Amino acid sequence: MSSLVHLGRAAGNRAEWQAPRERDAVSGVLVPARRTVRPRTVADVMSRFPVTVDRGASMWTAWDRLRTTGSRHVVVVDDHRRPVGVLDERMLALEWPPGPMAAHRTPVHSLLRGAPRPRVVGDDEVTAVARTMLGAGVDAVPVVHRDGRLHGLVTLWHFAELAAARPTDEG
């Protein structure tokens, strides 16, 4: 009998030493949940299925892919789906060769010579990706798996959407 009395006292005293949040939760008072803020990763904001062309494809093919899909960027990939670089419609227009058939014969990989080729991994934080893009002076970066295969594409448009959706501190 004495052991039951001691257990009852222990249960009664437990409410006194519990943290205030736990005591409120036990008594039925609504307690806001603690939110852990996880840094945004590039996988949260990237395009998962970017437009791609093979590295041996012609400029004409790349231009056709951009026009038919309505995309602004095309990722040039090798035979193993590893990104070689990213082309945009502006780069294609500036490098368009003269002559009626030259664009059909010019491979897209020739446009990427000397161009920066940064890549990021899906679990990189968006701030690190932004620094990578600024450092390389590019407006789109391929996102790769750990083995180097293409996983997605992140562009400046993704960052603009992210900034537009984020509530301000003042509001």
Could you give the number of structural domains in the chain?
2
pLDDT at res. 170: 43
Task: Tell me the residue range of the domain where 111 lies.
Answer: 42-165
Rounded to an integer, what distance in angstroms lies between the CA atom of residue 45 and that of residue 143?
11
Task: Let me know if residue 95 belongs to a domain.
Answer: yes
Is the pLDDT assigned to residue 9 strictly greater than 60?
no
Rounded to an integer, what distance in angstroms lies between the CA atom of residue 23 and that of residue 31?
10
pLDDT digits (tens, 9 = 90+) for 21-46: 555 555 566 666 666 677 889 988 99
Q: Is-contact 159 130, C-beta < 8 A?
A: yes
Task: Let me know if residue 171 belongs to a domain.
Answer: no
pLDDT at res. 169: 46
Alpha helices in the chain (DSSP H): 2-17, 20-27, 42-45, 59-69, 89-95, 102-105, 126-136, 156-165
Q: Is-contact 119 138, C-beta < 8 A?
A: no
Mean per-residue pLDDT, 4-23: 53
Average pLDDT, the chain: 83
Instruction: Please check whether residues 62 and 12 belong to one and the same domain.
Output: no
Instruction: Please check whether residues 58 and 31 belong to one and the same domain.
Output: no
pLDDT at res. 34: 67
Rounded to an integer, what distance in angstroms lies between the CA atom of residue 29 and that of residue 111?
65
Instruction: Please check whether residues 47 and 21 belong to one and the same domain.
Output: no
pLDDT digits (tens, 9 = 90+) for 110-142: 999 888 889 999 999 999 999 999 999 999 999
Task: Let me know if residue 54 belongs to a domain.
Answer: yes
Instruction: Please check whether residues 24 and 82 belong to one and the same domain.
Output: no
Q: Which residues pair with 26 in a beta bridge?
A: none
Q: What's 115's DSSP letter?
A: -
Q: Is-contact 39 82, C-beta < 8 A?
A: no
Task: Let me know if residue 170 belongs to a domain.
Answer: no
